[in-house]
Homo-oligomer: A and B are copies of this chain.
Amino acid sequence: MTKEGTYMTEDNRLPALEELSEKTTKERIIEAATDIFAQRGFDAVSMSEISEAVGIKKPSLYYHFASKDKILENILEYPIERMKQVGSQEVGTEELISSMSLEEFMAMGADLIVNWTEEPRMEKTLRIIFVEMYHNDKIKEFYSAFIDLTYSSWEMIFTLMMKHELIKPFDPRMLAKEYISFYGNAYLDYFLLRYRPNTSSFRKEYGDLIDRHTAFTVSIIKK
């Protein structure tokens, strides 16, 4: 968090161009820890193990992070930042809805939800979130906010669809919950029951099922 890299640049020269694209030790720690935590969970992983993966000795980790908990905190900043990015680009939903067919919009929506898991770092972080949720208050807060935002977005979308008479009348909040539950359940299945890092992806395993969920939803709500 502070004075990153001061140890390695104490000669005070400007870094060469090549070095700018190299990962800092701090970044390498985060990447290694994300990887190993995603595989075996936070508690089961020791600081020695992380340092070995990075290629340094255990006490050197404490130069970059004050504690094991701080490493986890840093890892969790990533999805929070990514959620803010997605949130800020949310513009013109109504124009989008009236500019395409119901089928097209729903397919686009499904794609957005699936894309969330496509980036490898995000996928590993989501795994950590699901595994550690039961006893980590920061993760609970993040996941709650993530779910609430998703419900509210789709409540708004379905409300607009009704306004434009694209779909039959429903309680939009309830419809959002029904629609999104399918994804929550798929996440539970993927991240807790069947997680095998680097051998598969959410899209590959659930893509077809999600297409069918989209078709099912359209068939039910379409006016």
Closest to A173 in B: B212
A182 touches which of B133, B178, B216, B220 (Cβ 8 Å): B178
Tell whether, in the assembled complex, residue A192 and residue B133 are in contact, meaning their CB atoms are under 8 Å apart. yes
A105 within 8 A of B: no
A185 touches which of B135, B174, B181, B209 (Cβ 8 Å): B181
State in angstroms the CA–CA spacing of A133 and B193 once bound together: 7
Chain A: residues with Cβ within 8 Å of the partner, total of 36
Closest to A144 in B: B193
What 5 A-B pairs come out closest when comparing CB atoms?
A184-B185, A181-B185, A181-B182, A131-B134, A181-B181
A43 within 8 A of B: yes
A44 touches which of B43, B177, B213 (Cβ 8 Å): B43
Q: A134-B191, A171-B212 are in contact. List 16 more A-B contacts (CB 8 A).
A: A44-B135, A130-B192, A133-B193, A134-B192, A144-B193, A147-B189, A174-B216, A177-B209, A177-B213, A178-B182, A178-B213, A178-B216, A181-B181, A181-B185, A185-B185, A188-B188
- Report chain B residues within 8 Å CB of A184: 181, 184-185, 188-189
Contact with B along A161-195 (1 / 0, CB 8 A): 00000000001001101101110111111011101
What's the nearest-Cβ distance from chain B to residue A222, in Å? 12
A140 within 8 A of B: yes
State in angstroms the CA–CA spacing of A44 and B178 once bound together: 35
